[in-house]
A and B are shown apart, each in its own frame.
Chain A
Amino acid sequence: MKLLRDTWLIFQYEVTLQVRNPVNVAITLIQPITYLLLFTPFLKAVMHAPTYSEAFQIYVPSLFAAMGVFSGMFAGFTLLGAIRQGVVTRCRVTPVSRVSLLLGRVLMHILLIGFQGIIVTIAAVVLGLRVQPGNFLFALVLLGLMVLLSVSIGYGLALLVPNESSLVTLTNSIAQPVSLLAGVLIPLTVAPLWVRNVADWNPFAWGTNAMRSIFEGNIGASVVWQATLIMGVVALVTVVLTSRLFSRETA
């Protein structure tokens, strides 16, 4: 109960600060919208998609995955900023739940990236995408799971390597292969067999494939429940590991 209350408290506080800073939120939208506008035509040609609606069905899930992996893993810098400014220390001397200090922030990122996902989808719908509202909501849930996983990884990295310049290199060298092996540019269906075999070990690839199935209207496909299960379990383990890292040295 205290865990929920404290998580909600930290979440509210962090979200309010983000909302007070709408320019920052807007800036995070520039990249996905640019890709949506300029990369979809390439993809349409390469994948021989007959219509833009079908090209978007392939690409919007990829964009979700890219935002999920990159924005999530780079969230470590937000945590590092909070640690640098002493905000985390100040909270740690209060009786507030340690796990909540982490979860409240993670949820803030989920909300922000979820919001990006909604804006991107609205833009794609304007340009011709067709998707069932119910299916779209389930895709958002999967995006949320993906962000839960990637933010926990990003936070864990920031706690292990509390140095901005090394963290950039480290995060990039993890996020790049993970996102490419999740098929964020070209779907894995056209990848050579060995790439697909490697990608089977990448939970983000499962998430991307599941979201693509959902956008294609095939929410009942087995990949959807499999991906939900895999990402849920992996995210849970990562959250537990990162919270232990976070509360190390404090009782």
Chain B
Amino acid sequence: MIEVSGLRKSYRTRRGRKATTVEAVRGVDFSVQRGEIFGFLGPNGAGKSTTLKMLATLLRPDGGEASIAGADLRRDPGQVRERIGFVAQSSGTYDHSTGRRDLILEARMYGESRSTAQELAAGVIKAFQLEDFVDRQIKTYSGGQRRRLDVALGVIHSPQVIFLDEPTAGLDPPSRARMWQEVRRLRDQGMTVFLTTHYLDEADTLCDRVSIIDSGLIVAEGTPSDLKREISGDVVIVDLAAPDTAGAPEPAIVLDASKVLAEQPYVESCETIEHTLRLYVDSAATAIPQIMRALNGKGIEPGAIETRRPSLDDVFLAKTGRTLAD
């Protein structure tokens, strides 16, 4: 449904008199299948929004090819616009308008007649359960209500592909759950959903497949479970801060501990994040006693040890050497 190869975009920014070129997207490739929820995951500034804006015809790519729902992005952006919906990160509505007025405008911008537009508006108002507030001024809506209106606006013309830029950013947990439900409903109706997010749990539970972008390049692509399986075994997190003191441990201790643990044969890799060490091991159950022994041998007393299954954050850390949460 979406085929992207070698898509590139750079910006020229001027700070003072010095002009620099920022390569926001440095050649990304991915494909999205019909009827799947595809998550585009990455930290802020990784090139997520730039890629999304190019696919939504808002920015012209510098290079590369993309086809969306059978239309060529560079040669025929008009056809792309007919077939996609796009929901930006910030709402695209005037505070003093009403939801219904904007829904009707939206349908009419896709060329529908006034009466068809009213019917389409009534349809999405029902589907997204906007009845209670849709005729009030938009400035009175809660964050979740506003976001639901935004998505309703994006899909009023039943596009084949819907692009959602950070659909749950800033929402409280119940509104997020509600939004996930709506996104799944769109997928179940046969729509292809492309969303960006920097929430790992969102990518994990909502997306059928994810692509991880960092510094303008795709570093991993696959289903969340496949990606996590690539990180074999378990994750053991060793916190070197002593539990009874608030202060962080000496940097030398952290360095010592990471050195000794990285040398252990059962540790596949070891990453340091401030005063915690993240160890990737085959089995946490057998590794923990050996870790304790190795640390005690150096006279280091860990404050806490916990263990868990690998998360997408571990995938991200393994691919980029940084955590997404930073």
In the bound assembly, the distance between CA atoms of A85 and B105 in angstroms comes to 16
In the bound assembly, the distance between CA atoms of A90 and B91 in angstroms comes to 8
Given A13-B105, A16-B101: A90 touches B93 (CB 8 Å cut-off): yes
Chain B residues with Cβ below 8 Å from A94 are 81, 106, 109-110
What number of residue pairs across chains A and B have CB atoms under 8 A from each other? 70
Bin chain A's interface residue count: 20 to 34
Given A13-B101, A93-B81, A95-B81: A251 touches B60 (CB 8 Å cut-off): yes
Q: Quick one: CB contact mask for A14-32 with B, threshold 8 Å, 1 for yes?
A: 0011001100000000000
* Listed A/B pairs (28) with beta-carbon separation below 8 Å: A9-B105, A13-B105, A17-B96, A17-B97, A82-B94, A85-B91, A85-B92, A85-B93, A85-B94, A86-B91, A86-B92, A86-B93, A87-B94, A90-B92, A90-B93, A91-B92, A92-B57, A93-B56, A94-B81, A95-B81, A95-B109, A95-B110, A95-B111, A250-B57, A250-B58, A250-B77, A251-B60, A251-B78
In the bound assembly, the distance between CA atoms of A251 and B73 in angstroms comes to 10
Say whether A9 contacts B91, CB under 8 Å: no
Give the distance to chain B from A186, nearest Cβ to Cβ, in Å. Answer: 39
Give the distance to chain B from A13, nearest Cβ to Cβ, in Å. Answer: 5
Name which residue of chain A comes closest to B83, CB basis. Answer: A95
In the bound assembly, the distance between CA atoms of A73 and B64 in angstroms comes to 40
Name which residue of chain B comes closest to A24, CB basis. Answer: B96
In the bound assembly, the distance between CA atoms of A251 and B78 in angstroms comes to 8
In the bound assembly, the distance between CA atoms of A3 and B106 in angstroms comes to 16
In the bound assembly, the distance between CA atoms of A9 and B102 in angstroms comes to 12
- Candidates A9, A21, A93, A249; contact of B84 at CB < 8 Å: A93
Say whether B82 contacts A95, CB under 8 Å: yes
Q: Give the residues from 149 to 192 in chain A that come closer than 8 angstroms, CB to CB, to chain B.
A: none
Given A13-B105, A86-B91: A92 touches B110 (CB 8 Å cut-off): no
Say whether A85 contacts B57, CB under 8 Å: no
